[in-house]
Structure 1
Amino acid sequence: METLVNNISIEKSSSSKIGSVDFDNLPFGSIYTDHMLVCEYVDGDWERPKIKPYANLSLDPASKIFHYGQSIFEGMKAYKDEDGQAWLFRPEDNHARLNISASRMAMPELPKEYFMEGLTALLQLEKDWIPTTEGSSLYIRPFMFASGVGFHASPADRYTFLICLAPSGPYFGGKVKVLIEEKFARAANGGVGYAKAGGNYAAQFYPTKLAVEKGYQQVIWTDDNTHEFIEEAGAMNIFVRINDTLLTAPTNDRILDGITRKSILELAKAEGIQTEVRKVKVSEVVDAAQNGSLKELFGAGTAAVVSPIAGFGYQGKDYELPELENSFAKRLKKRITDIQYNKVEDPFGWRFKV
């Protein structure tokens, strides 16, 4: 039986899996809710989004996603406050970035109303799946891929957009030790590093595998030309604290315009923390580690929010970072998550009620 919500067609699942889920022990991103949103681009236009039971997709082997990699995605979260109300964090920024990625990958941009109305309808339907255990949230994965067929190396004529949901626990646990990359690059000038294209992440796996074999959990990416400047940490933006100044690289062709990154910069300014958005040399970080002025390194992204780095390796030598009681990482993560979970006022207008 189908119903309409915000002009979104909804076909409800005949039964729910929610009763079998242990919400106190959630892995990250591997348990999925009962429904998903699907929207098809056909004959030069987007059809109305539909919400259906979560199920496998059927694709022609000649679908261009398999051959030419036209695939983009976003990462978001929904949160539930103490009163049971559901919230999103800066969702319009995710829509805008999705379309930036789509444009770069020669894919059609998705209308804002389809994204926002479809997402809202899906979350209202799946509201009971939003966990309330501390540190947990409902991870949201909007993504688009080329479903049109053909072996000719050209953009597809058909695309599929979906939103799937996964109740999830914290992304990272424990201390993270990273390796500053000296050979491989995450992205290059003129490339697609600023887009959330699936291939960007696939290309990271091999260098990260090599780093893991050396005893590290992640890679700090450096520029593709000289490997002289640090750019990102794994799949996150990176922040460096030298003395009491917080540094991060400027966005460019190679660096993703992270929503958490932007939020941290605004929060730091509001907190009176001095920030600098500029190129950061590897040698500057190493020198600061040696003379004791390097206080913190941390990654910032939707999944982990803030992920402190305990130490890094470079040119065969390891450097440990001090453990701080009142770190910027803890302070800024608390400020962001308190806004996300509706525990404090939101002077920035970031919170979106579902």
Structure 2
Amino acid sequence: MATTINITKRTDTKINNVDFNNLIFGTVFTDHMFYCDYKDGQWQQPQITPYQAMSFDPAARVFHYGQAVFEGMKAYKDEEGKIFLFRPDQNFKRINKSSARLAMPEFPEDFFFEGLTELLKLDSAWIKPGVGNSLYLRPFVIATEPAISASPAKEYRFMIILSPAKAYYAGKVRVLFAEKFSRAANGGVGFAKAAGNYAAQFYPTSLAQKKGYQQVIWTDANSHENLEEAGTMNVFFRINDTLITAPTSDRILDGVTRKSLIQLCDDLNINCEVRNITVSEIKTAAKNGSLKEIFGAGTAAVISPVEAFEHAEELFELPEIENSYGSLLKDSMLKIQHNLAEDKHGWRYEVR
């Protein structure tokens, strides 16, 4: 198996046409992309080429049976121009875990990290220094074999594309607790970053948006009583001085930001419980004043504070508080990611 990447560089650059102060998340892409095909039972020669459209057969299985998984990562640049990733080993493990669940071949670790490194070195100018600036990395795998029989594909393409980013959500969000629709069920693919998980959320989320809410916080499929995660984020609840987040399961994504925040809580002496939490518990806490914060946590959003939630036609506004746990944790996370604070857990990965 080849261990070096075939690199074709772009002769010019698109960067001078980009307004980095007015980025719309996920709509602007850098000069290059990485891809590697799986054929004849093995991964082929990895490629880096200029970012461009690609052609696929109409019968490619991804279009018919949804064999597609992805990851979300970020690269950061400090004031000295050094480039860092945040816990990329976790993303590598998770994309292969997701692939395995969808009967797709796992990607080699050396290809993954070499691809990331060479791509980021080529497009390093797209990573702007400063807290809040980042380069969003989207590794993904799709089934490319042209066949419409209902079985796993024999051919795949692994790709990485890059998109400069600022904050994913501006300001606080309003959420709706799910009462009818479900994101995932026991024994399903909720733990995987399968493309179909997100497609299935779009309709109920659009209904919530028509009511003035940005996101849905999903409840379990059986009882719709246990609060689990939001559309693009894991979710944390603060009752008095305790943070609570749901345990991972078949239904809940093992978020890299989530697990990092749990560790940061320990570092900062914030009590954090990983346990089931119910709609009724949160509504009771909101009514008696002990519910202090709700926030989402994810790679794109980092932390998104929630200002209000609705359930069963009851609306609850959350209080404005100073020195919130969400803001404290976000500040701590960003400082580690941007090389502005000690990295006692070895989370930063320098791109050399």
Q: Deviations over 1:216-245 (max 9, x none)?
A: 111010000000100001211000000001
Aligned twin of 2:92: 95
Confirm whether residue 197 of structure 1 aligns to residue 194 of structure 2. yes
Contact 1:48 1:114 in 2 (8 A): no
The separation in 1 between residues aligned to 2:264 and 2:223, in whole angstroms, is 32
Stretch moving more, 334-343 or 15-24? 15-24
The separation in 2 between residues aligned to 1:89 and 1:113, in whole angstroms, is 17
Aligned pairs for 1:146-161 within 5 A: 146-161=143-158
Local SS of the residue matching 1:331: helix
Aligned twin of 1:323: 320
The separation in 2 between residues aligned to 1:334 and 1:134, in whole angstroms, is 9
- Aligned mate of 1:220, from 201, 217, 222: 217
Measure how far apart 1:9 and its partner are. Answer: 1.4
Measure how far apart 1:175 and its partner are. Answer: 2.0
Measure how far apart 1:214 and its partner are. Answer: 1.0
The separation in 2 between residues aligned to 1:108 and 1:149, in whole angstroms, is 17
Contact 2:227 2:277 in 1 (8 A): yes
Aligned twin of 1:25: 22
The separation in 1 between residues aligned to 2:173 and 2:303, in whole angstroms, is 12
Measure how far apart 1:74 and its partner are. Answer: 0.1
The separation in 1 between residues aligned to 2:181 and 2:11, in whole angstroms, is 49
Q: Deviations over 1:137-184 (max 9, x none)?
A: 100000000001111000001000000000112100022000000000
Contact 1:75 1:302 in 2 (8 A): yes
Aligned twin of 2:293: 296
Contact 2:79 2:130 in 1 (8 A): no
Aligned twin of 1:348: 345
The separation in 2 between residues aligned to 1:178 and 1:247, in whole angstroms, is 17
Local SS of the residue matching 2:273: strand
The separation in 1 between residues aligned to 2:232 and 2:17, in whole angstroms, is 31
Local SS of the residue matching 2:310: strand
Aligned twin of 1:3: none
Structure 2 residue runs without a partner (length 5+)? none
Q: Deviations over 1:64-112 (max 9, x none)?
A: 0000000000000000101111110000100000000000000000011
What is the identity, as a one-letter code, of the residue corresponding to 2:172? K
Q: State the identity as a percent.
A: 58
Confirm whether residue 251 of structure 1 aligns to residue 253 of structure 2. no
What is the identity, as a one-letter code, of the residue corresponding to 1:131? K
The separation in 1 between residues aligned to 2:348 and 2:137, in whole angstroms, is 16
Contact 2:77 2:130 in 1 (8 A): no
Aligned pairs for 1:49-68 within 5 A: 49-68=46-65
The separation in 2 between residues aligned to 1:133 and 1:205, in whole angstroms, is 33
Local SS of the residue matching 2:349: strand
What is the identity, as a one-letter code, of the residue corresponding to 1:14? T
**TM-score, normalization by structure 2:** 0.98
Confirm whether residue 233 of structure 1 aligns to residue 255 of structure 2. no
Structure 1 residue runs without a partner (length 5+)? 1-5
Contact 2:131 2:338 in 1 (8 A): no
Aligned twin of 1:77: 74
**TM-score, normalization by structure 1:** 0.97
Measure how far apart 1:133 and its partner are. Answer: 4.9
Contact 1:242 1:295 in 2 (8 A): yes
Confirm whether residue 127 of structure 1 aligns to residue 109 of structure 2. no
Local SS of the residue matching 2:182: coil
Contact 1:23 1:133 in 2 (8 A): no
Aligned twin of 1:242: 239
Contact 2:310 2:316 in 1 (8 A): yes
Aligned twin of 1:336: 333
Aligned twin of 1:10: 7
Local SS of the residue matching 1:12: coil
Confirm whether residue 116 of structure 1 aligns to residue 102 of structure 2. no
- Aligned mate of 2:36, from 24, 36, 39: 39
What is the identity, as a one-letter code, of the residue corresponding to 2:77? K
Q: What RMSD over aligned residues (CA atoms) do the two structures have, in Å?
A: 1.1
